[in-house]
Amino acid sequence: MDEYHYVWLIWASAFLVPWLLLWFMSPRDRTIMLRASLMTTALGLTEPFFVPEYWNPPSLFDFAQRYGFDLESFVFTFAIGGIGVMLYRVLTGWPTLPVGAAEQRRERHRHHRWALLAAPALFVPLYALPWNPIYAAIAALVCGAIAAVACRPDLLRNTLVGGALFLAFYTLFMLSLVAFAAGYIARVWRVAELMPVRPAGIPIEELLFGVSFGAYWSAVYEHLTWQRVASAAAAGPRHSTADLRPPSGASA
């Protein structure tokens, strides 16, 4: 049996530990967290874009090698969706408030839908370029974050803080992979086709993915659900999930 056969399963499942911790730490935001995770779970379907061009992890039932996608990817994408949304909320204590219906109808929001579609729409042409697909994903995430902020300048703080926090979080998990599965990265990642920069043995592409995903998802989720983050001092007591729903009659 391949000594690395269950590494991807164990590592992906390990993300559920901080997910559960954030779940128990913020009971009022559980609806938001679960919704965010369910949204990003669909990203597991993109695994065939990256296997084997970017990496080729041994997986349960050899699904990755047979079909290009695997069950572990859905566990991973489910976990990072909720973590990406909740990490900066819990660590900063910033409450989230609904964007009013009058604000939603302002002229500067006329590109709302286009901004939300920027990342997935750009990934397809970027993927067609002669480079590794991970760079297409990173570029699409960055463009999606920029588009969200261009449409909603109030999300700039979400983007910067969310990107920095998720990068720090993801780096710790990558370091755990380096420490506890020696040789795994060299075996599974197509390192010869990636940039030679590997701080602490971590492919720089993984760190770029971490910061771009955190920046993108923390901004786009708020954009998608018509929410804004206020300072704790300005907003008063923390609001419940019932307060976070868009005003009735407002369209996304």
In a domain, 76, yes or no: yes
In a domain, 52, yes or no: yes
- Cis peptide bond upstream of 52, omega within 30: yes
Average predicted confidence (pLDDT) for the chain = 87
CB-CB contact of 188 with 4 (8 Å): yes
**What are the two backbone dihedrals, phi and then psi, of residue 105, each rounded to the nearest 5 degrees?**
-90, 0
Instruction: Please give the Cα distance from 148 to 170 (Å, whole number).
Output: 22
In a domain, 1, yes or no: no
In a domain, 56, yes or no: yes
Expressed as residue numbers, the domain containing 233 is: 7-244
Which pLDDT value is given to residue 219? Answer: 81
CB-CB contact of 179 with 161 (8 Å): no
Range in 63-67, 105-109, 146-150 with the lowest mean pLDDT: 105-109
In a domain, 11, yes or no: yes
Q: How much of the chain exceeds pLDDT 90, in percent? A: 63
- The answer on pLDDT for 242 being more than 50 is no
Q: Please state the domain count of the chain.
A: 1
Q: Is 96 helix (H, G, I), strand (E, B) or coil?
A: strand
**Which tens digit of pLDDT belongs to each residue from 56-91?**
999 999 999 888 889 999 999 999 999 998 998 888
CA angle 195, 60, 41 (to 5 degrees): 70
Whose tokens are 């729409």? That residue is 121
Neighbours of 190 (CB within 10 A): 15
In a domain, 174, yes or no: yes
Which helix (H) or strand (E) segment is 228 a member of? strand 227-229
Instruction: Please give the Cα distance from 70 to 169 (Å, whole number).
Output: 24
Q: Which residues lie across from 189 on neighbouring strands?
A: 55
Q: Judging by DSSP bridges, how do beta strands 227-229 and 96-98 pair with one another?
A: antiparallel
Instruction: Please give the Cα distance from 22 to 32 (Å, whole number).
Output: 12
In a domain, 234, yes or no: yes
Query: How far, rounded to the nearest angstrom, does the alpha carbon of residue 116 sit from its chain's CA centroid?
Result: 14
**Which tens digit of pLDDT belongs to each residue from 41-55?**
999 999 999 999 999
Burial of 237 (0-12, 13-18, 19+ CB in 10 A): exposed
In a domain, 194, yes or no: yes
CA angle 88, 172, 91 (to 5 degrees): 20
* pTM of the entire predicted model: 0.86
Which pLDDT value is given to residue 28? Answer: 86
Return the higher-pLDDT residue of 79 and 226: 79
Instruction: Please give the Cα distance from 161 to 88 (Å, whole number).
Output: 7
What's the token pair of residue 100? Answer: 């009013």
Which pLDDT value is given to residue 238? Answer: 44
